[in-house]
Chains A and B, each alone.
Chain A
């Protein structure tokens, strides 16, 4: 068995410092501290889409459940 890693999973990402800097907490917010409403309009879902509805239909269901106008999916399993 080969190691099951995609190229980006093999890269060791180091962090180098160019110039230390502080951030001002009066604006912006840590991603995990965004409100749920913000996440619904600016978030991602890792969806388990198996057989059945097409990716388009599936994305439509997501929009209906969350009551939003816009959502997009990545990588339809195109069956030709």
Chain B
């Protein structure tokens, strides 16, 4: 679970919208042939329709979500352990319930662990205990080594987003909420229209997030025009000087 600290807090909304991976344990109410289970799992790949559960934060209407991968790790009697990569907002409990229906039995979720949220994976996560130890080491022994492994710069939370790097003189205006036009651009990634973009300084600092108004080809072919509509500013507006 990514946790954002202090002024970085608003970055979590970006992560909410990014793809997720879970490891889940499905319990079937009767024993089912393994091949049939495998075949049924494959049928739930790609776009699926889900009705959000009764107690959910969103309006209860059928909505489409994409399942990117769905791999069975182990089948043991009536339990199926699997890994699923899915679009944000996919209800895994519901997915399990629906797979149960398809298997003509009931199925419920016994366990759920998230193994990826955007760029954050379970390979690099830390416990509260790690954090406490690292903080103590830092405060009492002035040793930064461990805490620096745990508390990462906010830029780590946007590493999955397409980026545009801007020149120094564009930074302050972006910090004041202006949109990005071509003259401010130094380098850029490939991106599509209407994507969440991270605008960066040449020192690799995050300035703000915004939405692309065009795709990246437009930058190559033009010398003016708006490229990104600024949405959320993270950088302190006094860090870079105002344009002379």
Q: State whether A28 touches B5 (Cβ < 8 A).
A: no
Q: Which residue of B6, B120, B148, B205 is within 8 Å of A28 (Cβ)?
A: B205
Q: State whether B3 touches A8 (Cβ < 8 A).
A: no
**How many B residues face the partner with a CB closer than 8 A?**
88
CA distance A47 to B9 in the complex (A): 14
Q: State whether A4 touches B71 (Cβ < 8 A).
A: yes
CA distance A4 to B67 in the complex (A): 11
Main secondary structure of the interface of B (DSSP, over half): mixed
Contact with B along A26-53 (1 / 0, CB 8 A): 0111111010100111111111111000
Q: Which residues of B contact A (CB under 8 A)?
A: 1-13, 15-16, 18-21, 45, 53-57, 68-71, 83, 85, 93, 112-114, 116-122, 124-128, 131-132, 135, 138, 144, 147-148, 150-157, 160-163, 167-168, 171, 182, 185-190, 201-206, 216, 219-220, 239-241
B9: which A residues are within 8 A, CB to CB? 70-72
Q: State whether B93 touches A73 (Cβ < 8 A).
A: no
Q: Kindly list the 5 A-B residue pairs having the minimum CB-CB distance in the complex, ordered from nearest.
A: A41-B6, A31-B153, A6-B19, A23-B202, A74-B12
Q: State whether A80 touches B5 (Cβ < 8 A).
A: no
Q: Which residue of A14, A40, A48, A79 is within 8 Å of B151 (Cβ)?
A: A40
A49: which B residues are within 8 A, CB to CB? 1
A1: which B residues are within 8 A, CB to CB? 71
Q: State whether B68 touches A43 (Cβ < 8 A).
A: no
CA distance A1 to B85 in the complex (A): 13
Q: State whether B127 touches A48 (Cβ < 8 A).
A: yes
Main secondary structure of the interface of A (DSSP, over half): loop
Q: State whether A44 touches B5 (Cβ < 8 A).
A: yes
- What band does the interface of chain A fall in when counting residues whose beta carbon is under 8 Å from B? 35 or more
> Closest CB of chain B to A58's CB: distance in Å?
7
B16: which A residues are within 8 A, CB to CB? 74-75
B6: which A residues are within 8 A, CB to CB? 40-43, 68-71
A76: which B residues are within 8 A, CB to CB? 1
Q: State whether A50 touches B185 (Cβ < 8 A).
A: no
Q: State whether A39 touches B153 (Cβ < 8 A).
A: yes
